[in-house]
Amino acid sequence: MIRKIALAGVALAFVISVAGPAAAKVCKPFKISGASKPHLSRALRAFPGSLIGWKRVARRRFGAKWSFWSRAEDKTIRCHQIADGADQGKWLCIRSARPCSGPLGPERGPVCQAEIVSFGARKKSRLRAREEARSGWIIAVRRDHGEAYTTWSRAHARDITCRRIGAKFQCVAAAEPCRS
């Protein structure tokens, strides 16, 4: 009996030593920035566009596992109206953060498609705004890839980021749709 317990303890220690470090969150020591294109609408285009810009920079420089805004540290989002030039009066948003990596789950297989980004309508609660963004993502995926790809829990690199706008919240959902 004691031998079985000791063997089980050794096996558990091995699993923890192998799986533990892989599951740890690791962050880059410096910030990267990504910007939106100039848009007339700050809330509907410039804000979600900055998420796309930041994720694109993180993915290009470090790979997909570093491109999750929800895992990033020292996050800032700054939006301003352009004062002069051809884009005068349009909004530009810039996101900066230290990219962080963590476990992604199963490796991306041949049944996944390119990332889809969608934002939902403003809602009074963060939870409803998240649901709205996820619903928008499902609609966009159904339109582009069909019903087989619309399950959010199967999607790879899922990320939802939210922002308070006045008394309401608006969220942006981004993920690579996958089918089983």
pLDDT in tens, 148-162: 999 999 898 888 989
The reported pLDDT for the residue numbered 142 is: 93
Average pLDDT over residues 15-38: 72
Name which of 123, 113, 102 is nearest 150 in CA terms.
113
**Boundary (domain end) residue, out of 101, 122, 153:** 101
What does the pLDDT look like over 43-54, one tens digit per residue?
A: 778 888 888 889
Residue 141 clears pLDDT 90, i.e. is over it: yes
- Residue 152: per-residue pLDDT: 93
Transcribe 3-48 into DSSP letters: HHHHHHHHHHHHHHHHHHHHHS-EE-SS-EEEEPPPBS-IIIIIHH
pLDDT surpasses 90 at 168: yes
Residue range(s) defining the domain that contains residue 92: 29-101
What is the C-alpha separation between 160 and 117, in angstroms, rounded? 9
Shared-domain flag, residues 134 and 163: yes
pLDDT of residue 114: 80
pLDDT in tens, 71-114: 889 999 898 999 888 888 899 999 999 998 865 544 444 578 88
DSSP string, 131-171: HHHHHHHHHHHHHHH-GGG--GGG-EEEEEEEEEETTEEEE
Residue 3 lies in a domain: no
**C-beta of residue 97 within 8 angstroms of C-beta of residue 31:** yes
Based on the domain organization, do 122 and 79 belong to the same domain? no
Residues 97 and 114 placed together within one structural domain of the fold: no
144-to-50, 76, 131, 150 alpha-carbon distances in Å: 23, 32, 20, 10
Confidence grade of residue 8 (pLDDT, cut at 50, 70, 90): very low
**Residues 73 and 119 reside in one and the same domain:** no
Domain total in the chain:
2
Instruction: Identify the domain boundary among 101, 123, 153.
Output: 101
Q: What pLDDT sits at residue 21?
A: 43
Average pLDDT over residues 109-123: 81
